[in-house]
Structures are given as structure tokens and as C-alpha cells.
Structure 1
Amino acid sequence: MFVAPDPGRLRLRISARAVLGIGSAVAVSELATHSLTAAVAGGLAALLALFTVADTEVRGQAVTTALLPVVGFPVLALATVLHGHPLMRDAAFLAVVCAGVYARRWGPRGHALGTFGFMTFFMAQFLHAVPAQLPRLYAAVALSVAVAALVRFGLWCIERRTPPPAGPAPLTARGLARPTTRQALQNTFACALALGVGQLVSDERWYWAVGTAWWIFVNTASRGETLVRGFRRVVGTLAGISMGLLVAVPLGGAPAPTAVLVAVCVFGIFYTAPLSYSWMMFFVTVMASLLYGLLGVLHPGLLALRFEQTLVGAFGAAIAVVVILPITTHASTDAWIRRAVLAVRHCTAESARRLAGDASADPTPHVAELELLLAKVRASLAPLLHPLSPLRARKQRARQVMLSLDDCVHQARGLAAVAADPDASHDARLTAACQRVETALHALLPAPEAPATAVEFGAPAPQHHPGAERALAHLHDLEKALSELAAPVLSSPRSPLAGA
């Protein structure tokens, strides 16, 4: 985990920036409000501002960050006003859940604002906030978001030097099959179930179950992905509680060591989030234990209750994803595989045009898109590749799909690199090689998505050019990888291309 590749040390820098931004926000909030509760609220607001805002452009990130309080303040007021009215509070919380998930249809900004709205309501329950505390809470949240923005866009703007790649467009659908609509209904049902059962377990800490159900649905697209994410959350929480018993309980809320350990947890959350949901939840749970220690309410029984509420939330998510408009792992995976194969085709076509002398052709964007789509396929296949998956035949097919797609990406990347050499195209053998790749692609794509393309190269070179030889090798290996990919895809009885 901690030795995983980190190109450009991007995760390291983002994690270190998070510690600086959140630590500064907490300090400013404490100095301005002289309230530990407000400082905790400010720290959470800064964490969300740095963690959830993911627009592709720096300017868009700044706009989204500025809009966070616009969404958070009304929700915070609503949560505090309804503090003493359980039925109305619960109904409002579920409305915030539904709206927050549905907002994901507007992309990264909708996702960030929806998450901030949900977490603001959650924070009010965590802090048992009442209307009299609103002025200090507002001041802490506003100051913390401003400090986080100052660090992110002024003192340490990593994205300006290395802008994050734009993610692939989400899978499209209409009506109740639209991912955001389906997830809004699923997540609301899951949170309602978690809220009801959670209150039976504890009428004081029930919100942990709702928070678990909410976060399990983030960045999932199918029934299998959601179930695996729920399992990983339980594992990470259990490990975090064990560490909390060993570290947080003995500390008893001592300010200095607790602050240091919270900073370590913040770093761990940001550093592990892209790689492992279980590790991220481990650090989240340890940090929550330390914060409870600061607030003076931590004891072993509270951590045991935390685990019980996590089980309740995971159970609610599992029930919802199975009975409310379920999307099977196969349906999601098949769609992402087709998108990836289409990206391979675009990359190959642009490379071929570039090799044929078209200076305007550029396969680089398609290679970047292919890398992102490969990550989507890997996430979608994760339930089948999980060690506890009992579906051996499907697991074997999933492994073969990943190996073949990995090879496709490698060969497409190499072909795009060779295409930059203008002298490599003078070899007519490239025409035949491109046609063979087209044939392999046609087997994996419906006819409307794979129109034939014809690229003519120059006459055979008197001597084989090294660039042409490398291009031929990549095309040959790409053809082989596509043929190997066709075997597991077309052998699946559920594939729409089987028998096509």
C-alpha cells in the first residue's frame, strides 16, 4: 500500500497539503471561535473541501469550493433547528440524502456539493448542534473553507502544474435506469433502513449507520461493486476500532498527542483513498476515535457501538442494492469494456493516420482516456476478482479480461509513441496490420460503433525502418490481445455480442 507507485509523488504532495490545509483551518477556527466543537466542525469542512472537490480545471475547483458554504449553511441551520424534533429531523435527513445523491448527475461539482450537504447534516448530529451554536459553527465553516482554498489555490496549487485527467463520461441511461436516479432511490432506501435500525441499536449514535450507508454508494456502479465496498468498509472499520482501543482510549483526549495522531490520520486518508477503501476507512475510524477522545466521550463501549452501526449501515446498503433497481456486475462491466475497446479503436485509428503522414492526428488523448477506462473496468470487475467470490468460472473470465485489456493499453500506448516518428510510415505492411486490428475490433463492437476505416501508407521502404518495425510489433501484439479479449467476452452467455 505505502510502496505503491506514485508518479510525480502526486499522492504524497496532495496528502501533505491536506495536513497543512486542515491543520491551519482548525487552528484558525479555534482562535476565532474559542470553541472545540466549532474547531472540529471547521476541520471537517476543510477536509471535505480538499477531498471532494474534483473539477478538472483549477477555476472550476475554486468555484465549487466557494459554493460549499452556500449549500452547507442552510442544511446546517435545518439540522440544528430540527434537533429536538426526531421525526421531522429524520425526514429532512433522508431528503438531503436523496438530493445529495441525485446531484451527482451534474458531474464533479454536483457530487461535491451533494456530499458537503449530506456531511453538514451528519456533522450536526455528530456534534449534537443546536441553534444557539450556529453563529460559531458558521464562522468556523466559512473560515475553514477559506483557509483550505488559500492553501489549495494559493500556497500549494498542485493542480495548476499537473492538472488531473478528466474522468470518462458516466454510462448513459434514461428514466429509472439513469445511474444518479437509481442511486438516489437506492441510497435513500438504504439510509432509511439504516436510520430505523440504527435508532433501535442506539437512539444517540444512529447517524453512524446512515453515514455508512451513504458512503458505500459513492463511486459504485453495480450491485457487486456496492457489496464489495460494504465489505471493505466493515473490514476497515473493524481494524480502525482495534487501533482506537490501543491508542485513542489510553490517550484519553490529551491535546498534543491527539493532534499529532489526527494529522497522521488525515495524511493516511488522502494517501490511501485512491488505492484502498479499507485502508482509508481504517484512518477515518481512528481519527473519529481520537476526536471523540477530544470531546471527552470516548470509551470502549462507544467503539463497539461504532462497529455495530457500521454493520447496520452496510446491511442497509446491501438490501437496497439487491432489491431496489439493481444493476448487475455484468451489465456495468460489459458497458465499460465496450467503451474501452472503442477507445482502443480511436487510438489505433489516430496512430495509423499519424503514421500515414497526417500531422493533425493525435492519439495521445485517446491513450489517456483508455487508461481511465481501464481503471473503470478494473473497479467493475473487482467483485468477481475478490478472493471470497465463489463464482470460479466468472472469476477466471474476469482475470482473462483484465490481462487482455492491460495488454491492449500497453500496445496502444507504445503504438502512439511510435506514431510520432514521421519516417516510420514508409512501409506498406502497416496497412495490412491495421486492417487485421480493425477485424479484431469488429468482433468486439456492435456494427454502429465500429465503422470501417481505411488508411493507406506509402510504398514499401527499401530498408525496414526501425520505427515501422516497432509499429508492426505493437499492431501484431494488439491484434493478439484483442483476440484473447474476445474469448472471455464472447463466451459469456450474458454478453450482447455473443452469437452476434
Structure 2
Amino acid sequence: MKAAGRSVRGGLRDRLAASDPGLLRLTAGLRTVGAVALTLAVLAAAGFDVTHMVAGAMSAMVSTFAIRERQRGAQAVTLAVGLPVALVSVSLGAVLSERVVVGDLFFVVLIFCAVYGRRFGDRGTALGLIGFQVYFLSLFVGASTGTLPGLWAALTVAFACSALVRFAVVPVTPAGLLQRLRQAFRARLAQLVSAHLALLDAGPEDADKALADVREGNARLHETALMIQSRLEEGTPDESTARLVQRRIADAEIAAERLGLLLLSARSAQRADTLTLHLPGAPAPEVGRLPGPDDATALLRRDLLALRALVVRTGTGGTAVAQLRNRLLGYRDEENLPPASPAVRDVFRGIGETARAVMGLRVALEGPQDESDDSPATARSREELEAEDAAIDAGEEAEAAEQPKGLRRPTTRAAVQVSVGSALAIVGGELLSTNRWYWAVLTCWIVFINTASTGEILVKGYRRLLGTVFGVVAGILLAALVGRHTWTAFALVLLLIFAMFYTAPLSYTLMSFFVTAMLGLLYTLLHTYSWEVLVLRVEETALGAACGVFAAALVLPVRTDRRTSELLVTVLERLAEVTEAAVGQLSGGPAGDLLDKARALDQALGDLRSATQPLTHPVTPLRARRTTARYVVALLETCAYHARSLAATAELLPTHPSIAADPRLRGAAGRTVRNIVTIADRVADEEVTAAVDTGPSIASLLGGDGGTGRYGRITDRVLRHLERLDEAVVGLARPLRVPVRSPDR
């Protein structure tokens, strides 16, 4: 019973870790709710009225979510500086409340300074956010000079409670966060193996859904890998350990994605295209039973279950786990491969490679393992891992890129845009309501946060308006249920705050829904609730979103096409860098920092994927552009997968016995790099007339030496990745309208 209970708890823990990597959303929700609840308790015990309690609750919420630094010392400094900023802001709000014109002009200046402060990093962003939100708070609670002493006390209590909850009640250390992210990576890797199992057993009618689950598993695993990458520096004791973890995470991610591709190829009548794994909605190839004897399918199912067990088990695991590991790693040395078709045997080899990556990940995360039960194949894999670990050294820091100046700087442009939009929102909001006009300003401010183009602002404004409409309905129902029960209303406010922060990274519409429902309860507590107030909230939200879109479209606009083109050029440049560096190292050139270059490519691709959301949104009327954008992003993800694989293979050169440098690769793959650069130049400048070259396959360009000698040990995998990368790059030319030149033309 105890073992079963531990198994259930472990399963629930893994599901939670997989759904919320690093427990970042849970931590944000608990911190905010804890700070608000503690603030309410202190203020209630001190005898403050409901208005000051509402002000304290909103201040606690702001002082919690505004702090974004990762180091605890930096968080403490920002929180300490944020308190006087908040006190000055609420004081000015109270003093200027009677001077309408001056107060409005100051609000616009404050908004400009708050947005412009983002150029100074996380601290500048946090202080600007605190200044704006607290000024808004003073308008919300109707602050006046007579109420300032009580508001100062409420804000001081709120900041103190926020600090107490952040550093004592719900503490988060960089090392602890990284450990939880590692657990999330392990859990998501196990989920991906489960998706592989479902794909193995899927019939023709279930193949598309099974493939969609594999796609989602790959994307979620990649997301967690990037989150780990961004926190390695703060969460590990030294740079060598950080690079070791980075390498093992990359190995496991690449091996798992390759295993899915091999399995899909084995289920299909022909080798599956890598693009199939990256293009959303692409139909699965026609599938049937695995070729070969049924025993091979049963063994494959057994070994996928064993692989999942290796992933989820922590610690030594005992003799049973060692036997599973030994059997799976034996496939790398062609041991015990069942009689089956070449495609099915490739899947078994892929399981062996994934098991080796899992073992490397376990060593990197948990330290040395028990080697007493190692088979010869396991011992060889362990020796390879140890040799690779010894070869890992610190890379050079990348030079900082030159930043644009003046109005070309994103923070300056955004500050001007949001100031103009807010001025329009103030004028329009005053016409709608002289008492609630600030809701339009708040919406205009919010739609500019984390957006960089007119299309992104339009989509965000639409989502906020949609969430607000449904939130008004919920607010009416909750206000009717709660009535004048103050503490019941506060309890529901806490619940809605938690839901707001827990769902914020998942859905902006959901977050807006919970915010609006919470405001309905706050109005009830302030005795200002009415149907007209909530309807006015929708009108002001629509006005603020419209003003934001108008300002973004006419004031220093950044068109979505321009934004995506700039990011596309960046992705192509990063892709060329990774490919050239990996091929150079595979050709015998000096070692470089390949994994960092690959992660820079992943980051650039993630930025492009976010920027194309306005083009791929379901409500967009431009269906052809939506299809093209999805296709281009999927092709780039395919290119990135092959480039990552080449980079990981190139880093094995000093230690792996079956891989040796081949100088011929540089010339054979040079066409691919030139094509990437040509496409980037064409996207950046339409006047460029160069064309993409096609020609013989890379394998044929290498010639043949019978597979013998030093150069004959270049693995088929390297050639396969180079071939697929070359094909994907040529495939990019058509949707991007770059001419393709054949050798005979």
C-alpha cells in the first residue's frame, strides 16, 4: 500500500511538473495570493476600512508580480526602491485628482517614463510598472490628500508582506528552480515516449491524432529545454556544470525527436519527411502494421515501455532498472536486434540512442551512478559519456550586438506610441465617463506590453476585449451571490487572483476574464457596483484597445510584415552560423561553441513564431498568408532540428570512435550555407537578384571510398541530416519567392 501510494504521488507530481515546468505559474499564483492575504490580515487586525484594504491588496499584487529579477539580492533591492516610488506615485495621484488637466498631462508623462524605463532592464521595467499601477490604484480608490496617511500605511504594509512572502513563505532560489525545471524535462520526456507508444499502436483512423500528440510532445519538451537553458547560469555552481547539463539536455531532446521520426517512418510505406513532425495539421502518412514478424512489434512496445521507465525512475533503481538499461543500450552495438525490416531495426537503434541520452542526463543531474551491473555495451556508452564530459570546456562570451538608437530603439518607440494612445484614451474615456475614464488608459497600456508590431497589438486587444465581456457576466453573477458579505468577497478575490496568475502564460483571454470578474467583486466591496459600471468597463476596454491599435498603426508603426521579415532574417543568419560552424568542425576545423549557437537559433525561431501569431490566428481573413506563414515556420523548425543534430554530432568528434572529421564535407555542404545566406539577403532586400542553387545530393558530392579508411567513418546520420537540411532550405525558396536555379540552366 505504501509503495502504491508513493507511485500515485510520484505520478501526480510528474503530471504537475510537466504541465507547469519549474512550477513557475503555481509559484506566481501562491506568492501573489499569499502577499494579498497577509496584507488583508494585517490591515484588518489594524482596523483599516475596506477602501484601504482594497488599496493594500492591489499594492501587494503589484509589488509581487512586478519583480522579475532572478537573483534574490536584486529582487530585494528593486522591492526596496519600489516602495518610495509607490508612495510618490500615490501621493501625486491624490494631489492631482482635483486638477483634471494637470493630472491627465502628468499621467501621460508617467506612462512615457514607465515604458521608456524598460530599456534599463528588469529593474527599470519593474519600477515603471509599480509607478503606473499605483497611480492607477489612486484613481480606482478615489485617493485624496486627506486619505494619504492611511494609503501610505497600507502600501508600506503591502510591500512588507510581499517581501515576507517572497523571501520566507514561498522562496525560490535559482538552484531550486533549475532542479524543478529538470524534473519537468524528465516528465515531459516520459510523456513524449508515451506519445510514441500511442503512435506505435494507432490504427489508420487514429494516426493523425497520435501524430499531433507527438508534435505537441516535441514542442513541450523543446520549450522546457529553452527554459532550462535560460536559467543555467544562475542555477549551477560553475560554467562547466552548466555546459554539461546543457549538452545532456540537448542530446536527450534530439534523440527523442529522432526516435519519433524513425517510428513514423517504420509505420509508413516510405520514409517520413521531417517536415511532417513540425507542420501543424499536416496529415500523417498512410500507416499500417509494422513490416516484419509480430514478435518485433511486441518487442518494440516492450522496449518503449522500458525506455519510459528509465526516464521516470530516479536514483539507482536497482538491478531491474540496470537490466532494462543494459538491454536497450545493447541495440547501439547491434546486440539482440530482432529479425525485422531495416526501418524497424532503425527504431530499435533509435531506442538505444535515446537510452544512452537518458543515461547521460541522469549522470549530469544526479551524479555518478552504480556501475556494478553494467554490461559491456553499457560500459562502452558510459566511457563515451565520460570522455565527452572531460572534453567540455567553457566557451567564449558572445559580443553584445549593436543596439538601435533614438526613435529606432524599441523602448523609445513603444513609449511614444503608448503615450499617444493613452492621450487619446484619456480624451475618449472622459467623454464616456468622468469617473471611470482610467480603464481605457489601463487597456491601452496593457496591450502594448510584450508586443512589438501592429498585428500583435490588434490580437492582444481583441483577446482582452473578449475576456472582459465574459468577465463582466461572471462579475455580475458573483456580485449577486456575494452581496455585502465582505470576507466572502475577499476570499473569492483571492481565488480569482490565483486563477489570473496561474492562467496568464497560457491564455491572455482567460487572464482578462478573471481580472474583470475580480473587479466586479472589488466594486462590490467599495459599494460602487452596478450593472452600468460593468457595462462601462466593456466600453472603456474597447476604447482603450482601439486607441492602442490606432497609435500603433499611425505613430512610428512597425508593420507585422516588417517585424516578421526582420526576425526571419535573424533566424536565417543564426541557421547559417550553426550550419557553417558544425560543418566546419565536422570537416576538421577548430572546435566552437556549437550548442550556444544552436540555442541562439532556437531563441530567434521562438521570437519569429510569436511574431507570426497575428498571421496564423484562426480569425485572420487572409487564409493564404496564414498557410504560408505556418509552412515557412514549420520548414524553419525542420531546418533547426537538423542543424541542432549536426551541432550535437560535431561536438562528439574528439571522443566518439565512430565519427571522424572529413574535409570533403565543407565543400559539399557549402551550397547549403550559400543558399541560406541568399534567402536571408533576398528577404532583407528585394533588390537582390541572386537565386538558390540546386544540384547533386550531398552524398554524391562526397564521392565514395567504399566506406573504408578514416573518412569512411562519417556516419550515415550526418549525411542524412545534411541532405534533409539542404532539401528544407531549397523548400523555403518557393514560399519566400526566391528563384531556384537548377544545374542545367
TM-score of the superposed pair, with normalisation by structure 1: 0.86
Q: Greater CA deviation, 303-312 or 33-42?
A: 33-42
Change (3 A) 1:88 1:443: same
Change (3 A) 1:224 1:171: farther
Q: Which residue number in structure 1 is paired with residue 560 of structure 2?
A: 329
Change (3 A) 1:489 1:272: farther
Residue 267 of structure 1 pairs with residue 498 of structure 2: yes
Residue 441 of structure 1: how far off its partner (Å) = 2.3
Residue 145 of structure 1 pairs with residue 175 of structure 2: no
Residue 440 of structure 1 pairs with residue 671 of structure 2: no
Q: Which residue number in structure 2 is paired with residue 48 of structure 1?
A: 62
> CA deviation digits over 1:157-212, x for unaligned, max 9?
33513366659999943332322222222111111111111111111111111111
Q: Which of residues 31, 34, 40 is equivalent to 1:26?
A: 40
Contact 1:418-1:467 within 8 A present in 2 as well: no
Q: Which residue number in structure 1 is paired with residue 237 of structure 2?
A: none
Contact 1:249-1:298 within 8 A present in 2 as well: no
Q: Which of residues 715, 720, 723 is equivalent to 1:473?
A: 720
Amino acid across the alignment from 1:292: Y
Q: Which residue number in structure 2 is paired with residue 60 of structure 1?
A: 74
- What CA distance in whole angstroms lies between the structure 1 residues aligned with 2:723 and 2:76? 46
> CA deviation digits over 1:357-413, x for unaligned, max 9?
889633333343333323321221111112222223322221122212222333344
Residue 81 of structure 1: how far off its partner (Å) = 0.8
Contact 1:408-1:481 within 8 A present in 2 as well: yes
Change (3 A) 1:333 1:44: same
- What CA distance in whole angstroms lies between the structure 2 residues aligned with 1:358 and 1:142? 60
> CA deviation digits over 1:325-383, x for unaligned, max 9?
21111111111122222333344455456656889633333343333323321221111
Q: Which residue number in structure 1 is paired with residue 539 of structure 2?
A: 308
Q: Greater CA deviation, 351-360 or 428-437?
A: 351-360
Contact 1:14-1:158 within 8 A present in 2 as well: no
Q: Greater CA deviation, 17-26 or 130-139?
A: 17-26
Residue 207 of structure 1 pairs with residue 441 of structure 2: no
- Give me the CA root mean square deviation: 3.3
Which secondary structure state, in structure 1, belongs to the residue aligned with residue 68 of structure 2? coil
Q: Which residue number in structure 1 is paired with residue 325 of structure 2?
A: none
Q: Which of residues 466, 470, 477 is equivalent to 1:235?
A: 466
Amino acid across the alignment from 2:124: G
Q: Which residue number in structure 1 is paired with residue 313 of structure 2?
A: none
> CA deviation digits over 1:214-255, x for unaligned, max 9?
111111111111111111111111111121122233312423
Residue 466 of structure 1: how far off its partner (Å) = 9.6
> CA deviation digits over 1:85-120, x for unaligned, max 9?
211111111111111111122222222211111111
- What CA distance in whole angstroms lies between the structure 1 residues aligned with 2:589 and 2:25? 37
Contact 1:336-1:377 within 8 A present in 2 as well: yes
Amino acid across the alignment from 2:95: V
Unaligned runs of 5+ in 2: 1-15, 179-226, 232-397, 685-701, 740-745
Change (3 A) 1:129 1:441: same
- What CA distance in whole angstroms lies between the structure 2 residues aligned with 1:160 and 1:12? 16
- What CA distance in whole angstroms lies between the structure 2 residues aligned with 1:42 and 1:364? 47
Residue 65 of structure 1: how far off its partner (Å) = 2.5
The 5 A counterparts of 1:108-187 are 108-161=122-175, 162=177, 172-187=403-418
Which secondary structure state, in structure 2, belongs to the residue aligned with residue 274 of structure 1? coil
Quote the sequence identity (%): 36
Amino acid across the alignment from 1:150: L
- What CA distance in whole angstroms lies between the structure 1 residues aligned with 2:735 and 2:74? 41
Contact 2:87-2:152 within 8 A present in 1 as well: yes
- What CA distance in whole angstroms lies between the structure 1 residues aligned with 2:641 and 2:157? 46
Contact 2:440-2:544 within 8 A present in 1 as well: yes
Which secondary structure state, in structure 1, belongs to the residue aligned with residue 515 of structure 2? helix
TM-score of the superposed pair, with normalisation by structure 2: 0.59
Residue 414 of structure 1: how far off its partner (Å) = 3.5
Q: Which of residues 226, 243, 254 is equivalent to 2:485?
A: 254
Change (3 A) 1:138 1:385: same
Q: Which residue number in structure 2 is paired with residue 495 of structure 1?
A: none
Residue 195 of structure 1 pairs with residue 426 of structure 2: yes
Q: Which of residues 107, 111, 129 is equivalent to 1:93?
A: 107
Q: Greater CA deviation, 436-445 or 227-236?
A: 436-445
Residue 426 of structure 1 pairs with residue 660 of structure 2: yes
- What CA distance in whole angstroms lies between the structure 2 residues aligned with 1:116 and 1:241? 26
Amino acid across the alignment from 2:493: V
- What CA distance in whole angstroms lies between the structure 1 residues aligned with 2:91 and 2:725? 57
Q: Which residue number in structure 2 is paired with residue 362 of structure 1?
A: 593
Q: Which residue number in structure 1 is paired with residue 604 of structure 2?
A: 373
Contact 1:15-1:268 within 8 A present in 2 as well: yes
Residue 151 of structure 1: how far off its partner (Å) = 2.7
Contact 1:175-1:181 within 8 A present in 2 as well: yes
- What CA distance in whole angstroms lies between the structure 2 residues aligned with 1:375 and 1:159? 26
Which secondary structure state, in structure 2, belongs to the residue aligned with residue 444 of structure 1? helix
The 5 A counterparts of 1:451-470 are 462=709, 468-470=715-717
> CA deviation digits over 1:38-68, x for unaligned, max 9?
3322222222233232235443333323221
